Amino acid sequence: MELRAFVDSRGGIVHRSVLLAACASPRALQRAAARGEIERVRRYWLATPSAPADLRAAALSTARVACVSAARHRGWWMPPEVDARLHLHVLPHAEPPRGDRVAHWTRPLAPVGRASLVESVHDALDHISACVDRETATVLWESACRVERLTPADLRRVRWRSASARELCDQITGLHDSGLETIFAVRMRSAGVAVRFQQFVAGHPVDALIGERLVVQLDGFAFHSTSADRTRDVAHDRELVARGFTVLRFTYAEVLHRWDSVERAISRAIAQGAHLST
């Protein structure tokens, strides 16, 4: 495989040691760079035009993609208001990163190989816990549990640097199916409302169950976007109502942007005793 194709197959940017280990000689690297097939980024990184901007910036700053930027790179569910600036993990006493970057000057919690431009999952979680608000941090930690296949027990064994990370460990359940569900859980908890999630009622799981009879369904994009999805949801709602449940269904936009109306609807239903068994 030619060098450019090899680099593209590894994400568009690789450490020089990776290419040398793949039997490319130093002379071959020099020739490929001279022909413009690959670009030298600082001293040890070689890239093609397909290299992601965040990884290229990390290489230029002798840093690693960190915090919420690492979460975005790893595919964790991202609330829309999260800081879009690039966060970088920089070792103490290293040069400040160039440009409009957010630097995290800490020693790594977990080691990563020199061929990685993204910090470890645990370092990303630790930085997130101290960098963003509690609701956003909880959403990202729950998403990390899903994407990285972590359990709350796994997280509680980590020697976290910050008190905020240790506090988050006590709240993480690993049970939420989506970021939207996590946001709902955090806001209900702050209002003092006990909620059970993903309970099977009338043959199907419901997103949230308050008390014994108040069902809350959250229509995110992933599972409620097609006509078939909507038909299934309406049929389940009918069955729940026939069995004596009250069903409140909210959209993604309502939960994220019109929370006051969501909270009022739930408060009214609870005040009317809709959550109580008859």
**pTM (2 d.p.):** 0.84
- Tell me the per-residue pLDDT of 8-48, one tens digit each, with 9 for 90 and over: 888 899 998 888 888 778 888 888 888 888 888 988 899 99
Per-residue model confidence (pLDDT) at position 221: 56
Question: How far is the C-alpha of 82 from the C-alpha of 72, rounded, in Å?
Answer: 10
User: Cβ contacts of residue 81 below 8 Å, gap of 6+?
Assistant: 136
Which residues, 6 or more positions from 132, have their beta carbon under 8 angstroms from its beta carbon? 68, 82, 83, 140
pLDDT at 267: 95
Where the chain has pLDDT below 50, the residues are none
The residues that bridge with 204 in the sheet, in sequence order, are 201
- Cα angle 194, 144, 6 (rounded to 5 degrees) comes to 165
Task: Count Cβ atoms within 10 A of the Cβ of residue 219 and give its class: 0-12 exposed, 13-18 middle, 19 or more buried.
Answer: buried
- The candidate with the shortest Cα–Cα distance to 238, out of 228, 249, 250, 247, is 247
Number of H helices, E strands in the chain: 13, 10
Give the Cα separation of 215 and 199 in Å (integer).
10
Q: What sign does the CA torsion over 30, 33, 38, 44 have?
A: positive
Correct CATH for 179-271 of 3.40.960.10, 3.40.50.1100, 3.40.50.300, 3.40.630.30: 3.40.960.10
> Pairing state of beta strands 86-90 and 101-105?
parallel
* Residue-level pLDDT at 225: 57
Tokens 């099977």: give the residue.
200
**CATH 3.40.960.10 domain position(s) in the chain:** 179-271
Residue 130, H or E segment:
helix 121-131
pLDDT recorded at residue 37: 84
Sheet holding 86-90, edge to edge: 64-65, 86-90, 101-105
Buried-state track 119-148, b at ≥16 Cβ within 10 A, e below 16: bbbbbbbbbbbbbbeeebbbbbbbbbbbee
